[in-house]
Amino acid sequence: MEVNVKKSNNVISKVYKGSIADEIGIEVGDLLISINDQEIHDIIEYKFLMSDEYIELEIQKINGQIYVYEIEKEYDDDLGIEFTNPIIDKAKSCRNKCVFCFIDQLPEGMRETLYFKDDDSRLSFLQGNFVTLTNMSEEDINNIIKYRISPINISVHTTNPELRQKMIKNKFAGKLYEIMKRLAEAGIQMNCQIVLCPGYNDKEELTRTISDLETLYPYVNSAAIVPVGITKHRGHLPDLEIFNEKTAGETIDQVHELQRHYLDKIGTRFAFLSDEFYIIANRELLKYDEYEGFIQFENGVGMISKLEREIQDYLEEVPQDKITRKKKVSIATGHSAYEFIKDMSELVMKKFNNVEINVYKIINNFFGETITVSGLITATDIIDQLKEKDLGETLYIPRAMLKADEEIFLDNITLEGIQKQMNIEVIPCENNGKDFIDKILK
């Protein structure tokens, strides 16, 4: 039987050992045709149909033979397979021209995948990507509700329809709130992000946006506010200001007042600022417990407070003789986290006086000095700024500098490549205290 081209994305790329699929003889390279006589067009349909306790699975083997497997399983038990395309479909690209879009500010010569703008609710559900809801058809919205695609991460920016159309440059951008209201009425959970641009959606507009989102609580679970990032590659793009110590401080005061109001009204602070605002304003961050479980951690909300607590707690557990030899190492980090990483390194050296840690602040020449977060540091800048330094036996970097599923930097240099060029072991550290300390003391 000839394989239908439309189903070519349904090719199985991995079968987990001991899984249902493994037990019944499904193999890598097999093709999923249908579940309960329903063709599978994307990963959401697959997960929805797989939740049944009894399924009939139609599989085409590599030799063209077709088998139907009858499977009885527990509700929500997974089959134990992955596909060559994670969403079993072509990802929907973004048709917006946001004034603050970071992808539009990228230089040439980076990884090809970085230039693709996705705006796909399925990737929001599967991978945590943020979507604008501007490119959705009525069928797309109905599918979110039908298949219970929840939670969804939404790039809101503003709930003012006219302002949102201006910022996103999409005539459908103003329909955001009515779509979100429908999703809330259907019980769909949403996390929201606001990229804050001075002179656009800050001040009174920010208060309006947070107020509108709060009316959809608890289905809108929280809102994260992050400052706009501007690279030196904006070219013909609209002029944008960035936050400074004064404007960042004013925003902190504004949001803290709103947090007090919502904490009293609904029992949660609801809206949270990313750590960058506090660093720019030279202000203290919220306390560990005030981040309410770090529900917007991936947006950089509370990362420093969480990591500090984890490092302090784990240092108390680690025995004094964890490392018995002298060791000199280095850490490369971005401007934003530099002082914090220095302070944490001092704590480690205070307990283990045979360990010497040098922390280096990497200036972002690749994107421009206005970009200060560690996750946007390139291998090129690390090499250029540290190649003449005495780094000791190991250089540690945040794992965020590398692609999520691959050991490669934004500028296409691999982890192996940077080690060869610098002639030193380079070890990425996860964003948790135990991993940070264990790797330094290994």
Convert the pLDDT of each residue in 263-321 to its tens digit. 999 999 999 999 999 999 999 999 999 999 999 988 889 999 999 999 999 999 999 88
Burial tier of 112 (Cβ tally within 10 Å: 0-12, 13-18, 19+): exposed
Domain contains 420? yes
pLDDT of residue 8: 57
Residues 209 and 350 in one domain: no
d(CA 161, CA 174): 4
Structural domain count, the chain: 3
The range of the structural domain enclosing residue 433 comes to 307-441
**10-19, 96-105, 163-172: which range is least confident on average?**
96-105
Domain contains 92? no
Nearest residue to 394 via CA among 327, 337, 343? 327
Residues 261 and 326 in one domain: no
pLDDT of residue 232: 86
Instruction: Confirm if 308 and 340 have CB atoms less than 8 A apart.
Output: yes
Domain contains 426? yes
Residues 125 and 189 in one domain: yes
d(CA 131, CA 141): 13
Q: Which of 301, 320, 348 lies at the terminal end of a domain, its last residue?
A: 301
> What's the mean pLDDT when you consider all of the chain?
87
pLDDT of residue 120: 44
Residues 61 and 110 in one domain: no
Residues 136 and 70 in one domain: no
Convert the pLDDT of each residue in 148-174 to its tens digit. 878 888 999 999 999 999 998 888 889
**57-66, 205-214, 221-230: which range is least confident on average?**
57-66
Residues 359 and 294 in one domain: no
Name 432's Cβ contacts closer than 8 Å, sequence gap at least 6. 307, 310
Residues 133 and 269 in one domain: yes
Residues 253 and 311 in one domain: no
Q: Which of 267, 301, 335 lies at the terminal end of a domain, its last residue?
A: 301
Residues 21 and 78 in one domain: yes
pLDDT of residue 258: 98
d(CA 418, CA 425): 9
Convert the pLDDT of each residue in 199-222 to its tens digit. 999 999 999 999 999 999 999 999
β 54-60/31-35 pair status = antiparallel
Residues 245 and 154 in one domain: yes
Convert the pLDDT of each residue in 175-202 to its tens digit. 999 999 999 999 999 999 999 999 999 9
Q: What is the mean pLDDT of residues 94-105?
A: 71
In eight-state DSSP terms, residue 65 is -
Domain contains 50? yes
Phi-psi region of 241 (alpha: psi -120 to 50; beta: other; left: phi over 0): beta
pLDDT of residue 211: 98
Residues 155 and 245 in one domain: yes
Residues 127 and 183 in one domain: yes
Domain contains 98? no
Q: Answer yes or no: is pLDDT of 94 > 90.
A: no
Regarding pTM above 0.85, the answer is no
Specify the CATH number for the domain of residue 248: 3.80.30
Domain contains 183? yes
Domain contains 169? yes
Instruction: Confirm if 130 and 155 have CB atoms less than 8 A apart.
Output: yes
pLDDT of residue 10: 81
pLDDT confidence tier of residue 1, bands split at 50, 70 and 90 = very low
Nearest residue to 193 via CA among 233, 166, 226? 226
User: Token pair 């500098």 is at which residue?
Assistant: 401
Q: For the chain, give the percent of residues with pLDDT over 90.
A: 58
Q: Which of 256, 281, 301 lies at the terminal end of a domain, its last residue?
A: 301
Specify the CATH number for the domain of residue 17: 2.30.42.10
Domain contains 96? no
